[in-house]
Amino acid sequence: MTTESAAGLLLEAEASLKAAGARTTLYCTTIYWSIIGGFFLLRTIYHQLHSLMLYCRLLRSRRTPKPRIVSQPWRITAFFRKHIIIPALFGNAHIRPVTIFAISFGTLPTRLESIFIFAYVAMNVILCCVGITTVPDNVVLKGTVGQVAKYVGARTGVFAFANLPLLFGLAGRNNVLIWLTGWEYNTFNMLHRWVGRVVALQTFAHVVAYGVFTTSDADIYSVSLFRNPWAMGATIGLVVMMLGSISHVRKMAYEVFLVIHLIMVALFMVGSYVHVLKANTAQLGYIQAGLGIWGFDRIVRLLRMFVTNIPWTWLFAIFPSSRKMKRCSEVYLEVVPSDAVRCTVRVPTGWNFMPGQYVFMSIPQLGWSESHPFTVMEYVEEEEEEQVERVRQDSASSIASDATLVGDCDSAQMYDVDLKNRDVEKAIEVSSVTELDRPGVGSTFTLLIRPQTGFTKRLFDHVTRSPSTRHCPLKAVVEGPYGVTHPYWSYESVLLIAGGVGITYVIPYITELMHRRTHGETLLTRQIHLIWAIRSESQLTWIEPYLHKWRGPLSEGSMRIDIYITSENHPGATWEKGAMVRWGRPVMRDVVEGAVRERVGGLVVGVCGSAGMSDDTRKAVAEVGNGEVEYVEAAFTW
């Protein structure tokens, strides 16, 4: 056999091996997406069956209004809930950030989430390594090291791109999986960060492997990274993204992080697209899918903002009447005790709002590029023309008294604003969520914001410098509502725990429970216990109107409120409009033990507070609940 024929046979063998490697890679990516799809399908089935079970409990309550003394779950369900589903990974550290040398590296997942993450990482590692073979005396890829490096580099590059649709899908606000699986956005955000880390490691492995392959018989300058500027740009963008995504850096300047993150994402995607386009490989579809998912989310967000903030009647009004024309979204700001800001937001359209949901709000005057999430504390829909007509008669007498406060508004604007402001105050008495699908329906909802840094600090400074903001509103852009609603009304006993402004999460649920009770709607709840920890006594004014509305259940004993004031010392306990006010910090284990001991039927514990409060409650439910207590956590750890 001649040398030429032998070389030809080796080249044919190499081509055959390359084709086999491509088929193996295709099989691996198919297995990968089958497992990912199957996982979310199983989670969806579980969530929908669980929701159906809770709904059936509600239907049974119509026939048997008297609940069982104790609701016993299946033994295996109780075991998994106690030892896997509810507990933190180590001790009680879940929402508390992991800190090393005073640098925060984010939070730890729960045990169940850790199992998912470990399985996901292990699957990626295995699929990046399986099926890689070498050929002795390979004249094209010389040496075993070069061959392994080439194939590992190719496989890790493929999987870095194969993960992109999942990476972008988990990060979107309009993620259909949130509705299908029932997981909160912060769970998907946590998974997004872990998928991003895997993509970064696979990209680095791809770069290093190809560097080893190229330098196995060449000089360092011929490494493909230096010969591919677009690949280098994509790698630099990914490195900057990873460094900027560290929790400590992210919290120091979130707005700066967000801008840099978006720029680096664009650099990474453009660089990857051109790099793959030049290489003429099949991975271009993964990049296009990721960009498509990202674009879909952005388009839906823009449409939701347009529909929510701009009256759709404008589109059909050729000669609109200025008097009847509805305004765009506006926000009225007011400082309340304990240096918090109450935001009363009016949008010109009606919403299908449910308890536990939140909105993203932007005020262009305070930062046009910033949009931040806030939990809706109260919500009401009414016919604006009916509001104005109803309030017009009893409001005219107070216009002159407010004129000195609103010196920078003309009289017509002041009159209209005063009517709206009074209507907002009247709306506090409304305890039900009403859906009105006819044209001309406006919505009013309330946010309670505790200033921290950045946007919220500027918001507080603005309202303290301009007290007339309560009457002269600011233009706002609202996006939402987002979030998952948990059916607390499907449990006989409900324990709600809040810390500070976490009360904004609790109030809509109690309002919904009261609405169902008052209007005779399907309701299983017989006991409601609210625990609220606050720093100062002045914060009691935040819920004064609600204590008045809840006086019926409070006097009947079906509802109990314990308020703990943590930063002031005072002997004993006092009553404040039906609520027991105590001084000191609540011991979560004692609180949960008491709820388990006194429960009637099924018990659900919901918490929205500080990291320490949430972690202590989670640990107490896992240890004391014995797997028989449902746990809901509103963490908002973004």
Write down the pTM of the prediction: 0.84
What is the structure's pLDDT at 316?
Answer: 52
**547: nearest Cα among 523, 511, 583, 516:** 511
Per-residue pLDDT at 548 = 85
- Is residue 160 very low, low, confident or very high in pLDDT (cuts 50, 70, 90)? very high
Asked whether 301 and 479 are in contact (CB, 8 A), the reply is: yes
Tokens of 40: 């979310």
Give the residue extent of every domain in the chain.
16-46+99-302, 330-482, 488-633
pLDDT at 57: 82
How high is the pLDDT of residue 1?
53
- Are 607 and 617 in contact by the 8 Å Cβ rule? The answer is yes
**pLDDT reading at 392 higher than 90:** no
Higher pLDDT pick, 436 / 589:
589
- Weakest mean pLDDT among 10-14, 80-84, 488-492, 564-568: 10-14
The tokens 């508390």 sit on which residue? Answer: 96
pLDDT classification of 63: cutoffs 50, 70, 90? low
Question: What pLDDT score does 619 carry?
Answer: 93
Please name which of 453, 427, 418 lies closest in space to residue 252, comparing C-alpha atoms: 453
Return the HEC string of 415-462.
Answer: HHHHHHHHHHHHHCCCCCCCCCCCCCEEEEEEEEECCCCCHHHHHHHH
* pLDDT bracket for residue 72 (50, 70, 90): low
Q: Over the stretch 184-213, which tens digit does the pLDDT of each residue have?
A: 998 999 999 999 999 999 999 998 888 777
Contact between residue 584 and residue 566 where contact means Cβ atoms under 8 Å apart: yes
What's the mean pLDDT in 261-278?
90
Higher pLDDT, 423 or 619: 619
How does pLDDT run across 316-326, given as a tens digit for each residue? 544 444 444 45
pLDDT band of 327, cuts 50, 70, 90: low
Quote the CA–CA distance of 599 and 580 in Å, as a whole number.
Answer: 19
Mean pLDDT of all residues in 71-82: 75
Over residues 14-36, mean pLDDT: 81
What is the tens place of the pLDDT at every residue in 166-185? 999 999 999 999 999 999 99
Q: Provide mean pLDDT across the span 255-281.
A: 87
Between residues 505 and 404, the one the model is more confident about: 505
- Residue 54 pLDDT: 87
What CATH fold (topology level) applies to the domain 16-46+99-302?
Answer: Four Helix Bundle (Hemerythrin (Met), subunit A) (1.20.120)
Cα dist. 568→156, 533, 601 in Å?
57, 12, 37
Q: At what angle are helices 411-427 and 384-395 packed, to 10 degrees?
A: 110
Longest dimension (CA), the chain: 110
Q: Cα separation of 62 and 165, whole Å?
A: 45
CB proximity list for 365: less than 8 A, separation 6 or greater:
462, 474, 475
The Cα–Cα gap between 499 and 518 comes to 27
Mean pLDDT of 302-311: 86
488-633 has which CATH code? 3.40.50.80
pLDDT of res. 435: 35
Rg (CA), the chain: 29
* CA distance readout (Å), 506 to 485, 562, 578: 12, 14, 17
Q: To the nearest whole number, what is the mean pLDDT of the chain?
A: 80
Beta bridge partners of 498: 532, 608
- Place 576 in a pLDDT band, splitting at 50, 70 and 90: low
pLDDT band at 393 (very low <50, low <70, confident <90, very high): very low
Which pLDDT belongs to residue 21?
67
Q: Quote the pLDDT of residue 81.
A: 87
Q: Do domains 16-46+99-302 and 488-633 have the same CATH topology?
A: no
For residue 545, which of 635, 448, 632 has the smallest C-alpha distance? Answer: 448
Is a pLDDT exceeding 60 seen at residue 634?
yes
Dihedral (Cα; 504, 94, 581, 524), 10-degree rounding: 60
Predicted confidence (pLDDT) per residue in 543-557, tens digit:
988 988 888 888 787
**What letters, b where the CB count within 10 A reaches 16 and e where it falls short, cover 528-558?**
bbbbbbbeebebbebbeebbebbeebbeeee
Indicate the DSSP class of residue 473.
P
Phi, psi of 478 (to 5 degrees): -115, 140
- pLDDT value, residue 438: 37
Q: What is the pLDDT of residues 99-154, one digit of tens each?
A: 777 777 778 899 999 999 999 999 999 999 888 777 666 655 666 777 788 888 88
Q: List the structure tokens of 48.
A: 């929908």
Q: Which residues contact 227 (CB under 8 A, 6 or more apart)?
A: none
Of 561, 577, 564, give the one whose Cα is nearest residue 536.
Answer: 564
Q: What integer pLDDT is reported at residue 6 of this predicted model?
A: 57
pLDDT confidence of residue 275? 87
**pLDDT of 88 over the 60 cut:** yes
Q: What is the mean pLDDT of residues 604-627?
A: 92
For 353-386, the pLDDT digits (tens) are: 899 999 999 998 887 778 889 999 998 865 544 4
The stretch 497-515 carries a mean pLDDT of: 93
255: number of Cβ within 10 Å = 14
Sheet containing strand 474-475, edge to edge, reads: 378-383, 441-449, 340-347, 330-336, 474-475
Answer whether 349's CB lies under 8 Å from 308's CB: yes
pLDDT score at 8:
63
More confident: 299 or 455: 299
Which of the residue ranges 65-79, 275-289, 411-425 would you say has the lowest mean pLDDT? 411-425
The Cα–Cα gap between 399 and 396 comes to: 6
Strand order from edge to edge, sheet including 358-362: 372-375, 358-362, 477-482
pLDDT band at 32 (very low <50, low <70, confident <90, very high): very high
For residue 14, what are the contacts with CB-CB under 8 A and spacing of at least 6?
135, 138, 139, 140, 141
Question: How many residues belong to the chain?
Answer: 638
Half-sphere exposure for 623 (CA within 13 Å, toward CB): 15
Q: SS3 for 520?
A: coil
Q: pLDDT for 475-494, tens place per residue?
A: 899 998 999 999 999 999 99
Name the nearest CA neighbour of 150 among 25, 271, 272. 25
Residue whose entry in the numeric block shows the structure tokens 């024929």: 5
CB 269 within 8 Å of CB 238: no
